[in-house]
Structure 1
Amino acid sequence: MQLIPDNIDFSAYMDEPPAEHRVVPASSLLDSVIDHFFKPSDAPQVQMGWRKTHGDFEFRPAEVSLWAGINGHGKSQVIGQVALDLMDQSQRVCIASLEMAPPKVMARMARQAGGRLDVTVPFLKTFHRWTDSRLWIYDHVGSTDPRTILAVIRYAVDKFGVQHFVVDNLAKVIEKEDDYNGQKAFVNSLCTVAKDTGVHIHLVLHVKKGESEHKVPGKFDIKGSGATADLVDNIFVVWRNKAKEEEFREGNQEHADDPDCLLKLEKQRHGETEGSYRLWFHPGSMQYLESRHDRPKVYRIEPGITATEVEF
């Protein structure tokens, strides 16, 4: 894991590069169209770790994905686990967690990587060594502005070859909830940067307060400008089953087989699948599992070595 300090001079990355408008013959796109229908067998398919999502969705370059949900419903935990899945596939990830200090981000990801609560210093050293050349953290907590975060994305791609950039979350970049023009302009700029650089951008944001947090939200509940959902390529909604949690606290396990979380794929511009995936939360590891009876995944944090083989 490497830190990107917020005192770096990002001025060279502040302004968007000049737009290139090209008119090309349609026939020049033949190879790309062939790849669309007959994707080469050796082309990398970057996926989430949950097997039930395989074949339904892959993270394609130059796209923007929204991760939306009610405040406190685990969006950041889910995206942390997804980031580990990406790193497990040798993808380069940078996280701008504007609400949580970098050590806390890494502490949570360490538990997720080890699949357990009781990590040790030897494991933490091995885990952080594994993150080198896989994970970068933007060392800034608190509000920022669109030009700065866009510059940080360009910088991370240019300097480190980052392939996935997480912005957590929109409210720390555009503070006013009713600044619809500002939200639209920022998300539009994210889409432009993604197309220009090839990076896949993950934007975390809240949904509107509904009548009850027991109701599963959808893409039309996304807070702020409606253009946000229109502009991006993919939309995921994370929903936590708090009604089940309340029943468990009262000793009622009638709905034990109900999922703890729903991950809804609400939009996929360049794919044919939309749907909902049932997940179960494992508190010790902070992982979301495919089945109530699954054990947490233990990530291979060094070539040929799993976390269970590191001294705990």
Structure 2
Amino acid sequence: MEMPTGRKKMMDLQGLSDAASVLTFEERFINPTVSTGLWWCATAEDVHAAEINAVCLGLGRSWDDLSLCKNFLKQFRFIFVVIPDKQKRDEAVKELQKRCMGISVLIPCASAFHGCTSIAEIRAQGGISAVNHLLMGAIELPAHGLLDLADVQRVDMSKVPCVGSGIQELDRAIGGFFEGEVSVWTGRRGEGKSTLLSQLLIEAVNQGMPVCAYSGELPAWRFKAWASLQAAGPEHITCQTDPGSGKEYYSVPQAVQSLIDDWWAKRFLLFDNTVSSSNDADAILEVFNYAVRRYNCCVFLIDNLMSIRMQGDQDYYRQQGEFTGRLAEFAKKQGVHVHLIAHPRKTGKDTGNRLDADDVGGSGEITNRADNVFALRRLADEKAEEKGFSSVLSILKNRSFGSTISVGLDFEPGSRRFYKAGTGNPNKKYGWNFMQQIELEEVADDENNPFG
């Protein structure tokens, strides 16, 4: 390659000084107008051997530093990665494509190096013409960030991992809660969102899926007490009366609680909201990532968005939208499902009116980033008597199938269980019930064994 006479007109070369702080090159050999692109080398020795438009990462610099010289790199027609070592070449290609989107990246053909381990060695054996010959038959790699639709593989939705809700009509409509998705749940305060989501987590545990929950409002003991009632069911709880106030409340007998604890141990994790950073968005995501690595958690709950403490000076609602985006990225990267409770905005509407996706409080980005949006609404007593159910669960958005049905639910107050009105069963048995049966059978066997 020879430097064209146009080299003298390079007064408008952008970002040269910034590039010099990150890359190693000889300035006299840099000219973006040359048709042979920018040559990315492994070492300063190879830069010297290749000469024209040859660069390498500077000493002590990392790939992250390429952001400082984007303007410089964008002036070249393409980047030609001339690193003989395949592992190092693949690393360079990956990093360059990730950080220089929109710039074509080329690599030499498989036989181009003829066994040489450096550009300097190629030049020593064949001169500068042998170096220039590397560009012959170069392969342009597929553009980073673009997919050819013809190459996209079909997905059989029936084989995509998902978790059922335990409500047959809901599962039939949405297919279950799929990995890599976020579901937003809304509804006015006190209408049962947290209760229903706790029940959905128990359903996930029952299907062999470890779960992790963040509750910004409930202390751990109360969260467990309510979840334990749901796991136990109406047949395994007792009604007690407080001697001082006369208030009736439900609890789980210790023998049953021990079975439940054995059943969900290491499979139902709760974020510790007593630590100083408990409500911090970054801390929550860090713990969630750990829960995936350590316990293989597949289903996560944020209850609720309003309790999360955001960092920075941006508008709070915008920060909520960005946090939802981070949850969506977390779900996709880790292959998990995230449930997010978000209260509706105060609109002054009659509390009996049905909510829609636009009623979710905060930024519209919250529902935009969600794959599913649900609303839970409790009916007034007169309306509930007329309809034959006490609550309505509505699908406001379902990205996979477009379903928008509503399901009538009843509520069993002792066990805090929701179930389908008319056809559902509040007495569903979870896995711990069968552990109890096994233990009872073992005891019976021991009693009949004369050699025990």
TM-score bracket for the superposition, by shorter chain length? 0.7 to 0.9
Q: CA deviation at 1:275?
A: 1.2
Kept after mapping to 2: 8 A contact 1:114/1:298: no
Determine the C-alpha separation between the residues in 2 that align with 1:75 and 1:28: 42
2:191 match: 73
Kept after mapping to 2: 8 A contact 1:174/1:182: no
1:7 match: none
Using structure 1 for the length normalisation, give the TM-score: 0.80
User: What's the CA shift string for 1:188-229, capped at 9, x where partnerless?
Assistant: 111111111111111111002233322222211111111111
- How much is the aligned-residue C-alpha RMSD, in angstroms? 2.8
Which of 172, 179, 189 is residue 61 of structure 1 equivalent to?
179
Q: Counterpart of 2:163 in 1: which secondary structure? A: coil
Count matched residues.
278
2:413 match: 283
Is the counterpart of residue 154 in structure 1 residue 284 in structure 2? Answer: no
Is the counterpart of residue 183 in structure 1 residue 311 in structure 2? Answer: no
Determine the C-alpha separation between the residues in 1 that align with 2:178 and 2:336: 9
Determine the C-alpha separation between the residues in 1 that align with 2:204 and 2:427: 14
2:266 match: 133
Q: Counterpart of 1:214 in 2: which secondary structure? A: coil
Query: Percent of pairs identical after alignment?
Result: 27
Q: How does 1:12-27 map to 2 (within 5 A)?
A: 21=98, 22-23=144-145, 26-27=149-150
Using structure 2 for the length normalisation, give the TM-score: 0.56
Q: Counterpart of 1:280 in 2: which secondary structure? A: strand
Is the counterpart of residue 29 in structure 1 residue 152 in structure 2? Answer: yes
Give the unaligned 5+ runs of structure 1.
1-17, 248-252
Q: Counterpart of 1:302 in 2: which secondary structure? A: helix
Change in CA separation of 1:19 and 1:167 when aligned onto 2, cut-off 3 Å: farther
User: What's the CA shift string for 1:101-160, capped at 9, x where partnerless?
Assistant: 111111111111111241210000000110023211111159612211111111111111
1:165 match: 300
1:221 match: 359
User: What's the CA shift string for 1:158-177, capped at 9, x where partnerless?
Assistant: 1111101101110111479x
Kept after mapping to 2: 8 A contact 1:84/1:113: yes
Change in CA separation of 1:277 and 1:20 when aligned onto 2, cut-off 3 Å: farther
Determine the C-alpha separation between the residues in 2 that align with 1:63 and 1:221: 21
Kept after mapping to 1: 8 A contact 2:186/2:341: yes
Is the counterpart of residue 84 in structure 1 residue 202 in structure 2? Answer: yes
Kept after mapping to 2: 8 A contact 1:300/1:306: no
Change in CA separation of 1:25 and 1:218 when aligned onto 2, cut-off 3 Å: closer
Determine the C-alpha separation between the residues in 2 that align with 1:103 and 1:254: 32
Determine the C-alpha separation between the residues in 1 that align with 2:305 and 2:374: 15
The one-letter code of the counterpart of 1:199 is V
Kept after mapping to 1: 8 A contact 2:179/2:336: yes
Determine the C-alpha separation between the residues in 2 that align with 1:19 and 1:224: 37
Kept after mapping to 2: 8 A contact 1:96/1:166: yes
Change in CA separation of 1:290 and 1:114 when aligned onto 2, cut-off 3 Å: same
Kept after mapping to 1: 8 A contact 2:281/2:310: no
Q: Which structure features the higher share of helix residues?
A: 2
Is the counterpart of residue 274 in structure 1 residue 404 in structure 2? Answer: yes
Determine the C-alpha separation between the residues in 2 that align with 1:232 and 1:127: 32
Kept after mapping to 2: 8 A contact 1:88/1:299: no
Determine the C-alpha separation between the residues in 2 that align with 1:149 and 1:294: 35
1:122 match: 255
Which structure carries more relative contact order (alpha carbon 8 Å, separation 6+)? Answer: 1
Q: CA deviation at 1:54?
A: 2.8
1:102 match: 220
Q: CA deviation at 1:63?
A: 0.7
The one-letter code of the counterpart of 2:207 is Q
The one-letter code of the counterpart of 1:212 is D
Q: Counterpart of 2:431 in 1: which secondary structure? A: coil
Q: CA deviation at 1:73?
A: 1.0
**Which structure would you say has the larger Rg?**
2
Q: CA deviation at 1:47?
A: 1.1
Determine the C-alpha separation between the residues in 1 that align with 2:96 and 2:435: 46
Q: Counterpart of 1:81 in 2: which secondary structure? A: helix
Q: CA deviation at 1:56?
A: 1.2
Determine the C-alpha separation between the residues in 2 that align with 1:102 and 1:159: 21
